[in-house]
Structure 1
Amino acid sequence: STCDDIGSHVPLKFKQKIWEGGFIDLSVLLKSATELEQFESHGDLQLVNGKLCVVKRQLNSFLTIEKWTSAFMIYMSIVLQHSQTAQEMLKYMRNIRLAANRSPNWHKYDEQFRLRKASNPAMSWGEIHSEFWLMYINQSNVTTQQSAQAKFKPQASTNSFNTTSVGHASQNQIKFCNSYNSGKSCNFFPRCRYSHSCSQCRGKHPRVNCRN
């Protein structure tokens, strides 16, 4: 019904656990009402040590940021039935979306935060946990940047410039563009800070074409 809240399909036993501050895997909330009713009462038949046993189903708890947002909205809808923490939880959702833009480990931050929240109900949803943020978001962002810098670090052999001096006065040393003098196009021209002239005779031609 259009009048029902978005968490209306969740059975009371799951809602009770959420209201009591317990930890719940958010992926559970994306299941249908029928699947949720059968979730804890049924399992998979598996052969364990020669015996046929009912093993509780394992969840694939990793969610994309889009699915996480959908699940957390359901979770928030249930919490807000008996709570005044709407603004805190909206801020928490914003924090997670921000984390997802900065690090692939955002889901680890979310899981650890909610586990800590379950053990410490007084903790605010609206405050970023600085230790977890540093471990899973900032640290990952720094590592990614360092890897990118190492990957695209210019090599001296391909980006070096000729510093051949003209004449015998070192104070008049001119730096010439290697790309230009080797007959290649310069990616920085016309704003190249190195001289686009012959490193042999200062002529208006590259060194590969010099006749002196």
Structure 2
Amino acid sequence: MGAASTTRLIRLGAAAVLVTGLAACSSHTSASPTPSSSISVPTTVTGSPTPTPSTSAAAGSVESKDKTFSVVAPTGWKKFSDAQATLSVKAPAATDKVTTNFNVVVQHPTTVPSVDDVVSQAEIAWRQQGVRATDEPDRTIGGLPSRGYTFTRTAQGTQFRQTQYFVVFREHVYSMTMTSAATPGAQSAADQALTAILSTWAWRKV
């Protein structure tokens, strides 16, 4: 399998609110990196301000499989199948051999943690796996506070970057991950796509 002819779709397959390890799949190749250990959700309950969720969905929004939220995907992006995620969308073409993609995984832990607890636990677990995460600026997603980080690692012989944000809402933890090649051009485009997607996030009314 020649590296020059291989296009990969690498994503973070998280089964628990967590940052599950890398459960990547490939596009046009059968090779996959070995998944790493799952990161458990912390059980500490921390008080947080009453959220003010945004429920105004924009025209052209794509709804999640669990029907709890919707976003507008960048032009040309398409949904793709991912059993672990409630929403997965990808760019129309690869950049530097990696297809930039975004997914959302939802978990309902027995004891609901704060978003600070989730991020702290995840960063510790990544460090234990030799991955150094860099904090991203806090942001508001769907009207709710969110925290996140970015890290780079290698899978299938390709270095890639992932930016992950977390939101805790309605006793669920939402893990949002953008994956791209670790090259400057791919990272810049992925950052723009992530900002565009998260700025259109709307929760479904209950």
> Given the two structures, how large is their TM-score scaled by the length of structure 1?
0.25
Which structure has more strand as a fraction of its residues?
2
> Given the two structures, how large is their TM-score scaled by the length of structure 2?
0.25
Which structure has more helix as a fraction of its residues?
1
